[in-house]
A and B are shown apart, each in its own frame.
Chain A
Amino acid sequence: DGGITQSPKYLFRKEGQNVTLSCEQNLNHDAMYWYRQDPGQGLRLIYYSQIVNDFQKGDIAEGYSVSREKKESFPLTVTSAQKNPTAFYLCASSINLLAGANQPQHFGDGTRLSIL
């Protein structure tokens, strides 16, 4: 079955540590996204990538970094500069927009990150 796999499901970060969240998709989608979800908030966009080797900052990119070396992979690194990293992180992907901008984003199951 095609889908988006996020790992790990739960992650703990120590003070001053960088951690990387994995996101892999086998849907052959061009675009990939990272969102952060806090209690009582909607999803907020961290980074997005519409094509391999290119990515753009979203609304809350500070303290995060990404790479897009392969079409199917879009890892997110939460750096020590992110002072409040505790949240639920969702990865999503969508088909090439030239094929139809009404195509929805498909989401992974998320990673919950907590500070030790």
Chain B
Amino acid sequence: AQTVTQSQPEMSVQEAETVTLSCTYDTSESDYYLFWYKQPPSRQMILVIRQEAYKQQNATENRFSVNFQKAAKSFSLKISDSQLGDAAMYFCAYRTNYGGSQGNLIFGKGTKLSVKP
């Protein structure tokens, strides 16, 4: 079974600085998808960025980018020019592309990001 590990329960960053959140996963599959979701205090889950395993190019969305290392099974999220609104829980998630559970997300336990003014 696949697992997702976020080793940093909490992180802190100064406003306008850059922060990197770590995520590692375990799988024997070669084709899958990875996601980062943000959960602000309102508790709504918001998609931040997605990565397809067969694409070597790292995904970027404005100030958010990933460092996808397939061989190392690592999928870190970099937030540049951090803003106060970035303060939230961040969840890394894995999605298989095979079998009856195709489409199901497996989540890490999350990293709570604080942004200091």
**Given A90-B45, A101-B95, A107-B45: A42 touches B107 (CB 8 Å cut-off):** yes
Is the Cβ of B104 less than 8 Å from the Cβ of A33? yes
Is the Cβ of B44 less than 8 Å from the Cβ of A42? no
Report chain B residues within 8 Å CB of A92: 45
Kindly identify which residue among B9, B44, B104 contacts A58, using a CB–CB cutoff of 8 Å. Answer: B104
B6 to chain A, nearest CB (A): 8
Is the Cβ of B50 less than 8 Å from the Cβ of A56? no
Is the Cβ of B33 less than 8 Å from the Cβ of A102? yes
Q: Mark A62-93, 1 if CB is under 8 A from B, else 0.
A: 00000000000000000000000000101010
| Number of A residues with CB within 8 Å of any CB on chain B | 26
A94 at the interface (CB under 8 A from B): yes
Instruction: Give the residue name and chain of the A residue nearest to B32 (CB).
Output: A101
A19 at the interface (CB under 8 A from B): no
Is the Cβ of A104 less than 8 Å from the Cβ of B50? yes
Report chain A residues within 8 Å CB of B42: 109
Report chain B residues within 8 Å CB of A106: 47
Instruction: Give the residue name and chain of the A residue nearest to B6 (CB).
Output: A42
Q: Mark B1-39, 1 if CB is under 8 A from A, else 0.
A: 000101001000000000000000000000001010000
Is the Cβ of B52 less than 8 Å from the Cβ of A102? yes
User: Of residues A88, A102, A106, which shows the largest number of chain B Cβ atoms within 10 Å of its Cβ?
Assistant: A102
